[in-house]
Structure 1
Amino acid sequence: MLQHWRATLLIVVAACFFAGCGAGAPTVTPTPTPTPAEISARAGQATGAAQSLAFSITVTGQPVYSDASRVFVITSIEGALRRPDGALATLKLRSAAGIGEVRTVSLAGKQYITNPLTRAWQCLAPGQAFDVAILFDPQKGIERLLQDGIETITLVGEEDLDGRLTYHLRGTIPGARLAEISGGVIGAAPVVADIWADRETLRLAKIVLVDKAPDTPEPTTWTLIFSAYDQPVEVRAPIEC
């Protein structure tokens, strides 16, 4: 009988131990799921903390012109950013004469661009042409928009993107805020934005902007892909200004 009682006591003690009985048992607090706005804000902060990144932009739908005379249509942009003040990009352009390209460099507040016909480098006055560096301006660029510039943001779900698990968010960005960082070529009206951020690092992976001006037959779709975070990027002034 005594042996049976001891065995029963051991079972009770063991069960109580594994179940967490007693005043000293730890309390497990579940980690709260971040809201879509919190995910977006953290993605903006994580992307802004990167010292460099590469980006590609594809433009489809309603044509976007790179010049006031509406000769050259932008089809794509490939570039890289090096903080705090360096960016370079190659713009692919389409015109009646065929396909061409323009290269740009931004460094220390100065902008340089190649002539689409002669390909010679020239200096630009501030505000004379669209500057890709402003897309990543810490005060009003993409990273800032993710933190406080997206309205009615929702979480579409979690999706695999090129082998990485990402958060997929969707919201609306006021047109004026995008026009300010794009030289007016984006943001004729509120823009629908789909955003993918890496679930682990929260850095931006992809953004799709659908820009539908009231007086156009179809929207312009901008697809931005971000990669090569914190990789070396060399930005040099091509000429003296």
Structure 2
Amino acid sequence: MPLLSGAEPFRHEGGEVGVLVCHGFTGSPQSVRPWADYLAERGFTVSLPLLPGHGTRWQDMAITGWQDWYAEVDRELWRLRETCSQVFLCGLSMGGALALRLAARHGAAVSGLVLVNPANKVHGLAAKALPVVRHLVPTTKGIASDIARPGGVEVGYDRVPLHAAHSFRRGLRRLDAELPQVTQPLLLMHSPEDHVVPPVDSARILARVSSRDVTERLLENSYHVATLDHDAPAIFEQTHAFIERLSVGARGAATRG
């Protein structure tokens, strides 16, 4: 199945500090590609995978689930560890949830996390009906392109496959129990006005992780897909500063970039 334009995975071989960038639910690498490009231009080794079932058509996503998406980012983390002395994780929305699970399971192999509007729960009364409704109705309306910037467009599906949504909900519930295992330095940036993931998700994540080095930033001028929104430059700059502060040799990588 042909990929949607902009949905291609991205890999850049740079220095010994690696960064794994994870996109969101029903989205594609396009939503976080500027983030990945910014870090690649500064000398880091960057991996931005395409999650299974994404970037083509919603029917392909309907036969995938949480385990498939997590397995993909887990493989990329191992791949980065083969050549990098340190690896940092960056994630938008569901990508943030996947990054948190990687951090919980891989411990010291992850040097830090940068999360933008990370998901913690599928909200609403409809979510509780997913176990039954998904067998009766295949999809619901899409969630792509929640962007305040005029003309901002996210490459993602216009429908949400409910089988995949049910799997996502189950995965988030499992992750919530694992959050206390996250001990790495954390930079969490979230939008007060987000029409996909409410700020309460960020608050719960901050309350449950065991990280002691925690920084919270508000994205006052952006909606959910903040990496394509007004606050994107600040996200990129603060991500770079965070990684540079925590990584050995990051200044040298930045200079070469």
Q: TM-score, normalised by structure 2?
A: 0.27
Higher helix share: 2
Judging by fraction of residues, say which structure has more strand: 1
| TM-score, normalisation: structure 1 | 0.28
